[in-house]
Structure 1
């Protein structure tokens, strides 16, 4: 991915730039180089140069002598910011699991996703943050209690009554006091913020009867004060006072998502088939009318905005960030549950996994079905999640139906693991992945219940029976988990980094939430003009990868001419593979004089010329080299 040219041009064309041109009397010209102090290119009249522009025209040579230099391949220093904590590598016998903890004293069990976060200062450093032992929180079905467990040993921190056992929970610092709270629903339909002793700090007004309500937390208006979205109620995180009531939602079952889809600095709320503004006004809606209408946010087109997947009835809908319907696809089953988005087959592109009442399936973003597998989920309301359990670079699909926890191969749908120490009526739960005991290896947390009769009840933590799975982050605090929407310490980001720009996963997580990344840069190397009237003009470039991840062949590049504020695409192509820490062999392109603008040209890598890109890089601002210069008079 790279910064949009529309954002780059104002700097390059009308103001002092981070680049300068250094013409040489004996050479045809030099590239614009990065400089610490921006300087004004001499040919930009809007810059405050006191001297007239110097002549930087290139020398015209005989057509037969228009040879061009190609840079030799070499090595470059890997940027420190590109070296993430990364995965622990391939796992030996990855689907050999053991039960690390089981809590069965939960009445009839739990039908909600267990939230994982930190409630207590376990290490005694005076702070409650991600270095403490995570805690597991859930409500009990029928018992209507709120339960908090120590993630390492399963010991009970508290169990308090009066909380809706059909309602979900979120762990987040809603009042910004440095200690995360639990957001839950009372049996009287209040939204409540509960402290680490099980005492409610506040309760909101009631918002009518809410069917299986779910919460999330976000700083919707970026004022430093988080809001709590509890189904249709939006309240102030400090005191529970009402901010807005979301109206017009007819879908019986839904779960809220907060995300700044249009990147205007304020987050939108997605609930049911509707998208609301930060103040609760309706922005747009999806046409799905199924009983369940669940969503996921991802990047499918390479632009800064987030696209929204809706699943409803037997349809998968894909909308652009402004509500424009991109595609509707018929999917198998009915009553689909909350989907998961990740690169499940390891091809560098995201897919969406969708559980329904009798089947679970995987889909490409263009609506192509990858695979479909039978399962048993009569309600169709349980969700799925994703994690790279074996460290091979492709995510597995995790799902728990009425009978078993299963892991599916992301590429083929083959069942890699199943465990029948589970039963459920499949209502709101889905497997959660977090390092709940801080042992450096991810665990899987699932909720079980006897909703449909005798069986397993409570919460079970599965771990790897060997040396461990790739390390994950220690928290999974909310149903709409997207890595960046809550900070690891439970605090609420004022302006969260768009998850679809950094990770492009939803209800899934990369190992340790800090993967290594590529970093492509491009530099000008040489230029030759054979004839100013007819050409050819030859320009050579070199692309380097300063990142810590290899880039496969096929990365696009785009060459543009620049005329004032107008940028016109001239030519596109693709690159060979570039290993991490290397500069590739230089390459040349051949042009005619009309391909060079009055104000020069731009060359951008990881740009297909139509707004698309392949890579999420650790630095998205260094993919372009700019020549602001006359080549011929």
Structure 2
């Protein structure tokens, strides 16, 4: 399917608006929307529909007219011909008075402005910065809508995953001092380090450890080690390499340790020590902030591979407003001083998950068989109990009311006290804060092991469930799927405590991680999991595979994550991969991989790319919810990871489908997004392996202990290792328009092409969005301007770019088409509620001679 927009043309005339504050009207304040009916107060002027100080307006209409004689098009502004209101005496018949104007018979009076309304039945018939009202196209800023369309929205289509490779990193650039460090064995992270020094501009980075070896060991082996890579989330460009001799399979953590407003990175080194790294904006480099040490200043290490497969975490444990760093049971303060080392480094604390589980004001640390509480007065862990079941990994959630006395148990009512999910040794179970087993132990349906669990609402019943992966399966466990289940709380009606499970291939670690995200904003999370050979997204209710792409990993405890990695207010999926252990598809839970007509191995449990209408498919054919195809080109072509082949047995409908196939092992990270950014918004951070949303702000700030709202206490959360929608509401959408377009000739004989671009939608438009200028006759790309800051609802901005070789005479002049949200190929980056109003035209563009303005 081609997503190239139709290019519309629009020719209109330029008019200059002047506004004065009327008698008795207080006027709008700085930053508020304004127009002729709602002028600005004091020394503020109305510029691009917003009140700004006079010196910021930076426009001199008379100079523009006299000096440049720009050819300008504008679809909204009108000329003030007098400061006095028009009336019957000043308007000559058949004109009629309208505020300070006189409207011709072809015009209508709207908000004291004369408007030439083009007949319409819907917004799609209105070009430029106009909309349809009372069957006429009227300018934004007039009529009932004002400066934006409150009905502008775009809701994700249920089950429709149209993936697009946003960007990829597979090796460092030439000249990098660590060229062999390409394998990613741990969970990638996302944060905005404010490299541009402008907190208003959100530009997240992707952070991960890259390893030099191809072994299956613990990240510091036989001379191999890890270094941290920092990528630009917009295009996966490598920005920095941080540290050296780090453990390549241990997930780092990101947080603002010193309160300077910029996050730091904390990681395990190869000898078990902890190091923190800080960005210096003066030198534009990263350096070591500290090495974990004792009170005497001696750096602390514990031996090669001592940290095994693990990760660090950052929390405020003592309510001093400064975070502590957890490495297993070891605790360091924000300066690197070790506060306590008494608990050592037991495996059940490999991914320390700290939280105030029982709401007593003290931070707890669960390890399956043990529970500790941090004592701020002694800076030590106090044992609460050690009678629980053994296990390696934990997650938290409020599963209901489960006091010390089982007689008070009630799954239906949440009490604000967390329960603990424990996974290890092929078993998973839920225990309460008193160490009593509530559910389980459950055996994994296939395989052994068991990786770090997740918690969330998988089936939309308002109750929390949990999931974990093992050697040959990914499973969702539901306490409501016991006894005589009800379809409202256990849609699959299983009676073994399992909501669903799907086969997978993990014959190496047997304990890979996973994560959760509600891609469609419908209150039911999807499961994101990558085994050795495929990355998949599963329907949270049924386990149906919605998305599949080839992948390779020897598997440690890593997991894909979901976050807004580029600041575009939509979610992306980040997948780590490696070349280790020469992984290839063998069997998934005993199921083989069928061969495609190309001889590649296909995912045996992915039924194909899904659709709702024919427009969702490149082939233009949608049958029973699946895109039908005649050849590989209709699935994306060679290298896309999809092949046109016979469907999985039992797939409804007729015809071949686009199935996922395995194209070989690769290293690095890949970032996927929806082809039209229809996935719901997400936060711009995932800061550690034990991420739980409320543990960190999007600026990397760790909440003070007393102010830390535990995840399960928030009615919209109650999840673990799940990202959520950010500050932008689900169902909102941008709507870009071009309000004005013009050109002027520079002394260089270049043409400066200008456009006023507006956002009439309900969602901000991100920094960096391209606005393309194209040859109106040939479609040739001429130049491009980009947004330098977010464009909020109702705001307009002036953009320019230079065309270096415009025509030199009137006879050869051309029309230039301006297209908002268009790259050099004319392709969009955003999904909008109205895709048909993104263009305007500038007729008669030419620059005759040097020094002469036209």
- TM-score w.r.t. the length of structure 2 is 0.48
Q: CA deviation at 1:246?
A: 5.0
Aligned residue for 1:222?
319
Could you say which residue in structure 2 is the equivalent of 1:339? 453
- What does residue range 489-508 of structure 1 map to in structure 2 within 5 Å? 489-494=699-704, 495-502=707-714, 503-508=717-722
Alignment partner of 2:362 out of 263, 266, 288: 266
Q: How many angstroms does 1:189 deviate by?
A: 1.9
Which segment drifts farther, 108-117 or 152-161? 152-161
Q: Does 1:381 align with 2:381?
A: no
- Give 1:136's match in structure 2, choosing from 187, 192, 206: 206
TM-superposed deviation, 1:488: 1.3
Give distance in 2, aligned partners of 1:92 and 1:305.
33
Of residues 295, 310, 315, the one that matches 2:394 is 295
Shift of residue 253 of structure 1? 7.7
Question: SS of the residue aligned with 1:433?
Answer: strand
In the alignment, the residues of structure 2 paired with residue 109 and residue 439 of structure 1 have an alpha-carbon distance, to the nearest angstrom, of 28
**Are residues 463 and 240 of structure 1, via their aligned partners in 2, closer, same or farther at CA, if it must alter by over 3 Å?**
same
Q: 1: distance between equivalents of 2:228 and 2:440?
A: 39
Describe the superposition over 1:390-411 as per-residue Cα deviations: whole angstroms up to 9, x where unpaired.
3333111110010011011111
Q: Which has the larger radius of gyration?
A: 2
**Equivalences, count:** 423
CA distance in 2 between partners of 1:514 and 1:259 (Å): 27
Match of 1:91 in 2: 157
Question: Within 5 A, what are the aligned runs for 1:478-517?
Answer: 478-494=688-704, 495-502=707-714, 503-512=717-726
Cα distance between partner residues in 2 of 1:446 and 1:284: 38
2:326 and 2:346 map into 1 onto residues whose CA distance is 17
Deviation sequence 1:279-305 (CA, Å, 0-9, x none): 223222364445xx1111100111122
Per-residue CA deviation, residues 337-362 of structure 1 (Å, 9 max, x unaligned), is 11111111112222111111111111
What secondary structure sits across from 2:321 in the alignment?
A: coil
CA-to-partner distance for each residue in 1:271-327, whole Å, 9 max, x for gaps?
A: 46432222223222364445xx11111001111221111111122221212333323
How far residue 509 of structure 1 moved from its aligned partner, in angstroms, is: 2.5
Q: Which segment drifts farther, 297-306 or 326-335? A: 326-335
Whether the 8 Å CA contact 2:307–2:345 is kept in 1: the answer is no
Output one character per residue of 1:47-94: Cα deviation in whole Å (capped at 9) or x when no partner: xxxxxxxxxxxxxxxxxxxxxxxxxxxxxxxxxxxxxxxx96333773
Pick closer, same or farther for the CA change 1:325–1:156 going to 2, 3 Å. Answer: same
Structure 1 ranges of 4+ moved more than 4 A: 513-516
- Distance between the aligned counterparts of 2:387 and 2:581, measured in 1? 33
3-state SS of paired residue (1:116): strand
1:185-224 correspondence to structure 2 within 5 Å:
185-196=268-279, 197-205=285-293, 206=300, 208=302, 209-224=306-321
Query: Structure 1 312/148 Cα, relative in aligned 2: closer, same or farther at 3 Å?
Result: same
Partner of 2:423: 311
Q: Aligned partners of 2:728, 2:692: CA distance in 1, in Å?
A: 13
- 1:556-575 maps to which residues of 2 (within 5 A)? none
Q: Of 314, 327, 338, which residue of structure 2 is paired with 1:242?
A: 338
2:230 equivalent in structure 1: 148
Tell me if the contact between 1:102 and 1:460 (Cα under 8 Å) persists in the aligned partners: yes
- SS of alignment partner, residue 500 of structure 1: helix
Question: How far, CA to CA, are the matches of 2:387 and 2:452 in structure 1?
Answer: 16
The alpha-carbon deviation at position 515 of structure 1 amounts to 7.0
Cα offsets for 1:421-459 (capped at 9, x unmatched)? x10011021111111001121000111011222611111
Q: 1:429 aligns with which of 549, 552, 558?
A: 558
Written as runs of structure 1 = structure 2, the 5 A alignment for 1:367-406 is 368-378=497-507, 379-406=509-536
Q: 1:248 to 1:240 in 2, by over 3 A?
A: closer
Distance of aligned partners of 1:493 and 1:337 in 2 relative to their CA distance in 1, 3 Å threshold: same
How large is the Cα RMSD of the aligned pairs? 2.3
2:381 alignment partner in structure 1? 280
Asked whether the 8 Å contact 1:110–1:457 carries over to 2, the reply is yes
Residue 110 of structure 1 is matched in structure 2 by 184
Q: Closer, same or farther in 2 for the Cα pair 1:513/1:111, shift >3 Å?
A: farther
- The whole-number CA distance in structure 2 between the counterparts of 1:102 and 1:175 is 32
3-state SS of paired residue (2:580) = coil
SS in 2 for 1:452: helix
The answer for the alignment partner of 2:240 in structure 1 is: 158
Partner in structure 2 of residue 256 of structure 1: 352
- Gaps of at least 5 residues in structure 2 are 1-152, 173-180, 214-224, 280-284, 294-299, 375-379, 401-413, 483-496, 584-664, 731-854
Distance, in Å, in 1 between the alignment partners of 2:463 and 2:365 is 26
Secondary structure in 1 aligned to 2:251?
Answer: coil
Tell me the distance in 1 between the aligned counterparts of 2:443 and 2:725.
30
- Contact 2:330–2:343 (CA under 8 A) maintained in structure 1: no
Q: Distance in 1 between matches of 2:728 and 2:351?
A: 27
Secondary structure of 2:231's match?
strand
Change over 3 Å in CA distance of 1:387–1:448 after alignment to 2: same
- Please give the secondary structure, in 1, of the residue aligned with 2:292: strand
Change (3 A) 1:189 1:442: same
Q: Is this contact kept in 2: 1:212–1:253, CA < 8 A?
A: no
Does the residue aligned with 2:726 lie in a helix, a strand or coil? helix
Matched, 1:170 2:253: yes
Does the 8 A contact of 2:349 with 2:367 survive in 1? no
Displacement of 1:121: 3.6
